[in-house]
Amino acid sequence: MKNSFKTKIMGVLNANNDSFFKNSRINNENQTIIKIEKMIEDGADIIDIGAVSSRPGSVAVSPKEELNRIKNIVDDIYSQKLYEKVNFSIDSFEPLVINYVLNKGFSIVNDITGLQNEEVIKLCANFNATAIIMHMQNNPQNMQENPHYDNVVLEVKDFLKQQALKAESFGVKSIVLDVGIGFGKNLDHNLKLLKHLDSLKDLNYELLIGASRKSMIDKITYSTIEERLPGTLAIHLQAINNGASIIRCHDVKEHFQAIKVNEAIKNA
Catalytic one of 214, 219, 228, 260 = 214
Buried b / exposed e along 94-127 (16+ C-beta atoms within 10 A) = beebbbbbbebbbbbbbbbbbbeeeebbebbbeb
CB 95 within 8 A of CB 123: yes
Contact indicator for 236, 247 with CB cutoff of 8 Å: yes
C-alpha torsion angle, residues 213, 178, 234, 21 (rounded to 10): -10
Is 70 within 8 Å of 97 (Cβ atoms)?
Answer: yes
**Active-site residue flag, 214:** yes
Distance CA 90, CA 107 (A): 8
Specify whether 248 is catalytic.
yes
User: How many CB atoms are closer than 10 A to CB 142?
Assistant: 13
Distance CA 52, CA 260 (A): 32
Cα(232)–Cα(236) distance, integer angstroms: 6
The active-site residue, picked from 69, 213, 228, 248, is 248
**Residue in 58, 63, 59, 68 with CA at minimum distance from that of residue 15:** 68
Catalytic residues: 214, 248
